[in-house]
Structure 1
Amino acid sequence: MRIKKVDIYIIYLPLKEPFIISYDRYENMPVILVKIELQNGLIGWGEAVPDQHVTGETEHTVVEVLKNELGPLLIDLNPFQIELIHHKMNKKIWGNPSAKAAIDCALYDLMGKITNQPVYQLIGGQANEKLTAPQVISIKSPIEMSEDARRIVSEGFSNVKIKVGTDVETDIERIRAVRNAIPKEVKLRVDANQGWDRIGALTVIKNTKDCLVEWYEQPVLADDILSLQEIRSVSHAKIMIDEGVHSPQGLLNVIRNRSADMVNIKLMKAGGIYPSLAIANMAEVSGMPCQLGSMVESAIGTMAGAHLSIARRIIQTNELVGPFMFSRDVDTVVFEGDVLQFPDLPGLGVQVDEELVGELTEVHKTVE
């Protein structure tokens, strides 16, 4: 059970419509797939979705790091050596979390296939009854966003998240328009993606107090922990930190400063499932509920996040939205309404369409 070869692919998955958030606009999603092959021919799949604004990576830097720095470390190691492999990766190069996440997820896929178990059984077993996913609405005009919200609710979704973070007055209009378009029992979540300053965030929160917002996510810059603490101290709703936490050390700083009510864990920020478990453990000790977030991953990254999410009770919500947003994907993630269905398969449970991968591949590198 030794690692023989690592294949790395850049593909661009087409989105049904542009994905617009406070700091960028995406016409398609750059995805780096990692295929790790053992000497016996068994294959595990992982994925990186970098974001230069969050992880400090692009698809091209991820490929170079995987090809020249991280991939060679894996050859002849056992995929169950997850602790050692993360140690070697962190010692070899600082940061680059989505590159490390791609390797981590492929290793867990292999571990599940070797033991003939779904990944969640390897990290605690099923702790949550089900995973209910929201729909996410990109930044548009208030009217367009309200129309999207009506459609989403009509399709059976009970959770709506909206992207904001431009000018304060228009963001207030967006929140009000969406709230007025959906029933009170439908949960509304607001994500500014670092788009406001402290005064702007306080203004929006104060002026949308009657909009029944469940939480406001990352209202200010990622490292502005003190402003976040001030906002939380006067907010009527919960404050979630996302871009401001990449590691247990980062979360510890947030806990010490009492800067957030919730933390959004993302595999691509943390470096995969293994380090995300450490963040969840720290959050659990401090009594801080978690969300399992998304960087708009394909079926591979989505299912990796789903396995982690269903295995930890402290992860109370998720944002596994990638499958809703792509017009083509490497596999089909099945939902019944807004509830994710786990396939009865070992590993991540993903059967990658390698023909589609070949069709969409822009760059292919191999390490052996």
Structure 2
Amino acid sequence: MKITSITAWQVDLPLKEGRYSWSNGNYMDVFDSTVVAIGTDEGITGYAESCPLGSAYLPSYALGVRSGLEELAPRLIGEDPTNLGAINRLMDDSLRGHPYIKAPIDIACWDILGKVTGQPVYALLGGAAQQSVALYRAISQEDPDAMAAKIAGYRAEGYTKFQLKVGGDANEDIERIRACRAILEPTDILVADANTGWTQHEAARVVGAVRDLDVYIEQPCMSYDECLSVRRRTALPFILDEVIGDVDGLMHGFADDAMDVINLKISKVGGLTKAKLIRDLCVARRIPMTIEDTWGGDIVTATIAHLARSTPEEFCFSATDFNSYVTQPIASGAPVREDGTMTAADRPGLGIDPMSNALGSPVLSFG
């Protein structure tokens, strides 16, 4: 089997709530997503999606996905998409870094491999380790009462895990955490995610002020060393996200006892091949993961569901149904939330079919 074409579409994904806000005054109203299709000489097509969270969250941006595809795609024509190791080595040799660009190529190849073998992607990733996956809901940064009210609404939809967007003014963040914890049940999970937004002294103040609460602290500061310093000042469970982007960073975190949980974002690490490696290392070291991505719609959500379903429940801290946050469907067959959980389809590949009317005309085409 050989790759004969690579095609990309640009899709806008407006938010149901109108705006998504996180640390340092960052926000998004509409997400810019890129859908990728890889065609083959056997008539099988694989699909994927890459959707950076703006340009101020990670070293990634939407136009970068499409620019990078222009660089990579011509070099992949004629390659075997089912040889995932060779595909990833070729991408790494052809373009240093930029994992978010490589991710949709890798994921579309997994989709092809599933279709060729007649298996869902979760089976290829290790098999079904759980039937359904518990979801968290991200709560956009607002005033404390508004955030608490949103949590109450989402609890009624079945969510029991909540990621609170903090990383603003430390005094207001302390109020946000206390207000939201107060309305939750004792069994509910609350994560205070600063998205690198606090300086070290602010983070120290916040963790000290909420030390009596049942709350996880996530990515308080910009650098790994700052986060490690805060980790050593608190007994609260600790999550790292932005600073864990590859195996080297993960191993460093293991050695330093830097975290209790990580956020494993599939496009941040370069796709399912590298995400599986990180997932398996975490399982071996008994470190749970939130399995997710930077953002996206139906195809990203399906990809998350397959990796999460193949992860033992004990180590799958939570996952994300990003397609429930946006107003624009782009594929049929995508996971649908049910009582705060979702599952991956049993159909071959990712189990999705892009909607041609939602994609419009391609913006890039090779082969």
TM interval, short-chain normalised: over 0.9
Number of positions where the alignment pairs a residue of Structure 1 with one of Structure 2? 361
- For the residues of structure 1 that align with 2:67 and 2:158, how far apart are their CA atoms? 42
Which residue number in structure 2 is paired with residue 308 of structure 1? Answer: 307
Which residue number in structure 1 is paired with residue 153 of structure 2? Answer: 151
- For the residues of structure 1 that align with 2:90 and 2:275, how far apart are their CA atoms? 17
The reply on whether 1:219 has 2:226 as its aligned counterpart is no
Matches within 5 A, 1:16-35: 16-17=16-17, 18-23=19-24, 24-35=26-37
CA positional deviation for 1:277: 1.5
- For the residues of structure 2 that align with 1:146 and 1:161, how far apart are their CA atoms? 12
CA positional deviation for 1:80: 1.1
RMSD in angstroms over aligned alpha carbons?
Answer: 1.6
Q: Deviations over 1:137-164 (max 9, x none)?
A: 1001111101101111122211121111
Which residue number in structure 2 is paired with residue 346 of structure 1? Answer: 348
Q: Is the 8 A contact 2:114 2:348 kept in 1?
A: yes
Q: Which amino acid aligns with 2:326?
A: F
Q: Deviations over 1:205-256 (max 9, x none)?
A: 121123311x1110111xx222222222232221111000110011112222
**TM-score of the superposition, structure 2-length normalised?**
0.94
Which residue number in structure 2 is paired with residue 366 of structure 1? Answer: 365
**TM-score of the superposition, structure 1-length normalised?**
0.94
Q: Is the 8 A contact 2:131 2:343 kept in 1?
A: no
What secondary structure is seen at the aligned counterpart in 1 of 2:253?
Answer: helix
What secondary structure is seen at the aligned counterpart in 2 of 1:252?
Answer: helix
Which residue number in structure 2 is paired with residue 160 of structure 1? Answer: 162
- For the residues of structure 1 that align with 2:262 and 2:158, how far apart are their CA atoms? 26
Percent identity over the alignment? 28
The reply on whether 1:65 has 2:58 as its aligned counterpart is no
Which residue number in structure 2 is paired with residue 85 of structure 1? Answer: 87
Q: Deviations over 1:43-74 (max 9, x none)?
A: 1101111243344222212111102x211122
- For the residues of structure 2 that align with 1:80 and 1:294, how far apart are their CA atoms? 23
The reply on whether 1:329 has 2:329 as its aligned counterpart is yes
Q: Kindly tell me: are residues 198 and 211 of structure 1, through their superposed partners in 2, closer, same or farther at Cα, counting changes over 3 Å?
A: same
The reply on whether 1:264 has 2:263 as its aligned counterpart is yes
Q: Is the 8 A contact 1:280 1:315 kept in 2?
A: no
Q: Which amino acid aligns with 1:303?
A: A
Q: Which amino acid aligns with 2:346?
A: D
Q: Which amino acid aligns with 2:60?
A: E
Q: Deviations over 1:336-364 (max 9, x none)?
A: 21110333311011121111111xx6x61
- For the residues of structure 2 that align with 1:116 and 1:147, how far apart are their CA atoms? 45
- For the residues of structure 2 that align with 1:135 and 1:249, how far apart are their CA atoms? 29
- For the residues of structure 1 that align with 2:42 and 2:58, how far apart are their CA atoms? 34
Q: Kindly tell me: are residues 163 and 321 of structure 1, through their superposed partners in 2, closer, same or farther at Cα, counting changes over 3 Å?
A: farther
- For the residues of structure 1 that align with 2:125 and 2:280, how far apart are their CA atoms? 12
Q: Is the 8 A contact 2:133 2:319 kept in 1?
A: no
- For the residues of structure 2 that align with 1:57 and 1:188, how far apart are their CA atoms? 28
Q: Deviations over 1:100-143 (max 9, x none)?
A: 11111111111111111100111210113420111111001111
CA positional deviation for 1:284: 3.0
- For the residues of structure 2 that align with 1:330 and 1:317, how far apart are their CA atoms? 27
What secondary structure is seen at the aligned counterpart in 2 of 1:99?
Answer: helix
- For the residues of structure 1 that align with 2:208 and 2:228, how far apart are their CA atoms? 16
Matches within 5 A, 1:192-271: 192-213=194-215, 215-221=216-222, 224-271=223-270
What secondary structure is seen at the aligned counterpart in 1 of 2:134?
Answer: coil
Which residue number in structure 2 is paired with residue 281 of structure 1? Answer: 280
- For the residues of structure 1 that align with 2:295 and 2:326, how far apart are their CA atoms? 9
What secondary structure is seen at the aligned counterpart in 1 of 2:348?
Answer: coil
Q: Which amino acid aligns with 1:3?
A: I
Instruction: After the TM superposition, list the runs of 4 or more consecutive aligned residues in structure 1 that deviate by more than 4 angstroms.
Output: none
CA positional deviation for 1:305: 1.6
Gaps of 5+ in 2: none
CA positional deviation for 1:41: 2.1
- For the residues of structure 2 that align with 1:111 and 1:184, how far apart are their CA atoms? 43
Q: Which amino acid aligns with 2:124?
A: L
Gaps of 5+ in 1: none
Q: Which amino acid aligns with 1:7?
A: T
Q: Kindly tell me: are residues 53 and 252 of structure 1, through their superposed partners in 2, closer, same or farther at Cα, counting changes over 3 Å?
A: farther
Q: Deviations over 1:14-69 (max 9, x none)?
A: 111211111421001110110111112211101111243344222212111102x2
Q: Which amino acid aligns with 1:219?
A: P
